[in-house]
């Protein structure tokens, strides 16, 4: 057999698939590593989802509604209560997680000879979407406090003329939200050259933002090139269902239709998401608790003498450790799995239940004592 088997694209050779280590619950009973919502659906919501899936099951010989009309209507209604107004169903698109939504955006608007741009440190899947769509990847830099230097960001956009700007707000792994001025400035910059770029504000963690930080959904009427992505994986506590979505100009949704695979949203997914949206109030009901727990975690970590990034998300980035891997391992040894990610020296902890956060605090104190 030739040593080049399988005949993979050269740039993919030797690359590890993306993903956080998944340890069993026996190995790490406290799992605070992938920014999940620690609260599962109530028995009533789970029963309703099961019933909806059961109803869909009798027609699984047929392809699903390719245009997911009912789901699109329900997502539109939700967005208009969650920071948006005047959003219509032709402005909404959905796919299997916001990861797929963003890959589709790169498939439609990126490609050879085109540039996708973001500002590091940021979500590590972005360069992968660029790689997989043969789009050139350009990463500017965030300031020391992880905010964006707006003038430098604008200059980089004008210089590199990206087709797609990816702006997570709140950012992963830092938790930093963007002020509306930043979105406006970058939408204007990306509209100032030919053929222009789209600006994707990735609000995967949007529902967790602190009071006073508006959603970019408010700016949709002002910028045709603005796309706001959301997900049901985080605030909605539905990561296992794989449902992400966006709001944008209808012409952008139409463009995605060209690259999406036919029937990409299964009947089971559509039924699950629709049932979950009927229980939105309950599923989102824990967001406030998680915010309180997040703010308390930031305060506690600072009291312990750690450096902590301000967070508008359901996770907190803290450091700095001379040997972060040793601290991560110390926590795993005590049954607490967090994430070794972000700039060197930092670690990220997702916000869990009050009991899980107590276990995290105890494990971190114990680990730090051992390492002192």
List the one residue from 78, 93, 123, 346 that touches ligand PMP (CB under 6 A).
123
Least CB distance from residue 232 to ligand PMP, whole Å?
Answer: 7
Q: Is residue 206 near ligand PMP by the rule CB under 6 A?
A: no
Beta carbon nearer to ligand PMP, 102 or 185? 102
Q: Is residue 107 near ligand PMP by the rule CB under 6 A?
A: no
Q: What residues numbered 6-35 form the site for ligand PMP, per CB under 6 A?
A: 35
Query: Whole-angstrom Cα distance, residue 291 to residue 275?
Result: 25
Reference 187, options 215, 213, 219; nearest CA is 219
Beta carbon nearer to ligand PMP, 125 or 368? 125
Binding mask 64-83 for ligand PMP (x = CB under 6 A): --------------------
Q: Is residue 146 near ligand PMP by the rule CB under 6 A?
A: no
Q: Is residue 272 near ligand PMP by the rule CB under 6 A?
A: no
Pairing of strands 136-141, 226-231: unpaired
Q: Name the one range near ligand PMP by CB under 6 A: 60-68, 84-92, 96-104, 150-158.
A: 96-104
C-alpha of 94 from chain center: 14
Q: Which residues, 6 or more positions from 305, have their beta carbon under 8 angstroms from its beta carbon?
A: none
Reference 119, options 162, 167, 155, 154; nearest CA is 167
Q: Name the one range near ligand PMP by CB under 6 A: 91-99, 156-164, 261-269, 360-368.
A: 91-99
Asked, as a colleague might, if the bond just before 265 is cis with ω within 30 of 0, I would say: no
Beta carbon nearer to ligand PMP, 172 or 225? 172
Query: Whole-angstrom Cα distance, residue 147 to residue 304?
Result: 24
Q: Name the one range near ligand PMP by CB under 6 A: 41-49, 93-101, 287-295, 333-341.
A: 93-101
Q: Name the one range near ligand PMP by CB under 6 A: 25-33, 85-93, 231-239, 325-333.
A: 231-239
List the one residue from 127, 168, 197, 352 that touches ligand PMP (CB under 6 A).
168
Q: Is residue 203 near ligand PMP by the rule CB under 6 A?
A: no
Q: Is residue 99 near ligand PMP by the rule CB under 6 A?
A: yes
Least CB distance from residue 22 to ligand PMP, whole Å?
Answer: 14
Q: Is residue 127 near ligand PMP by the rule CB under 6 A?
A: no
Reference 74, options 243, 277, 279, 250; nearest CA is 277
Pairing of strands 115-120, 136-141: parallel
Q: Is residue 215 near ligand PMP by the rule CB under 6 A?
A: no
Q: Name the one range near ligand PMP by CB under 6 A: 80-88, 95-103, 176-184, 190-198.
A: 95-103
Task: Give pairs for 217-221: CB < 8 Å, separation 24+.
Answer: 217/79, 217/82, 217/83, 217/84, 217/85, 217/87, 217/247, 218/83, 218/84, 218/85, 218/180, 219/180, 219/183, 219/184, 219/187, 220/84, 220/86, 220/87, 220/91, 220/247, 220/248, 220/249, 221/86
List the one residue from 239, 259, 284, 296 that touches ligand PMP (CB under 6 A).
239
List the one residue from 38, 89, 140, 244 that touches ligand PMP (CB under 6 A).
244
What is the Cα gyration radius of the chain? 21
Query: Whole-angstrom Cα distance, residue 372 to residue 370?
Result: 6
List the one residue from 147, 174, 215, 233 that touches ligand PMP (CB under 6 A).
233
Least CB distance from residue 231 to ligand PMP, whole Å?
Answer: 3
Binding site for ligand PMP (CB under 6 A): 35, 97-99, 123, 168, 172, 202, 204, 231, 233, 239, 244
């Amino acid at each position: 057999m030739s040593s080049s088997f399988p005949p993979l694209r050269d740039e993919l050779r030797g690359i590890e698939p993306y993903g956080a280590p998944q340890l069993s619950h026996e190995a790490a009973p406290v799992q605070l590593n992938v920014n999940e919502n620690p609260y599962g659906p109530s028995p009533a919501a789970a029963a309703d989802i099961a019933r909806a899936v059961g109803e869909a099951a009798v027609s699984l010989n047929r392809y699903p509604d390719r245009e997911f009309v009912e789901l699109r209507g329900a997502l539109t209604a939700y967005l208009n209560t969650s920071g948006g107004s005047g959003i219509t169903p032709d402005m909404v698109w959905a796919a299997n997680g916001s990861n797929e939504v963003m890959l589709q955006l790169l498939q439609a608007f990126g490609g050879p000879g085109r540039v996708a741009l973001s500002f590091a440190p940021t979500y590590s899947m972005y360069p992968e979407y660029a790689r997989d769509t043969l789009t050139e990847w350009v990463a500017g830099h965030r300031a020391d406090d992880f905010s964006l230097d707006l003038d430098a960001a604008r200059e980089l956009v004008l210089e590199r003329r990206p087709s797609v700007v990816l702006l997570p707000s709140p950012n992963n792994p830092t938790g930093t939200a963007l002020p509306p001025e930043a979105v406006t400035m970058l939408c204007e910059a990306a509209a100032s050259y030919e053929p222009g770029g789209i600006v994707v504000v990735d609000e995967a963690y949007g529902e967790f933002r602190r009071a006073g930080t508006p959603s970019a959904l408010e700016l949709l009427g002002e910028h045709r090139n603005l796309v706001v992505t959301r997900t049901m994986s985080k605030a909605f506590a539905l990561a296992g269902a794989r449902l992400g979505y966006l709001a944008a100009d209808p012409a952008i949704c139409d463009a995605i239709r060209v690259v999406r695979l036919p029937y990409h949203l299964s009947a089971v997914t559509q039924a699950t998401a629709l049932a979950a949206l009927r229980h939105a109030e309950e599923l989102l009901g824990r967001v406030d608790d998680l915010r309180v727990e997040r703010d308390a975690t930031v305060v506690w970590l600072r009291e312990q003498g750690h450096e902590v990034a301000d967070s508008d998300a359901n996770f907190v980035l803290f450091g700095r450790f001379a040997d972060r891997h040793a601290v991560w391992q110390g926590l795993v040894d005590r049954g607490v799995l967090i994430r070794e990610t972000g700039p060197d020296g930092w670690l990220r902890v997702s916000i869990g239940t009050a009991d899980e956060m107590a276990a995290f605090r105890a494990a971190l104190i114990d680990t730090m004592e051992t390492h002192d």
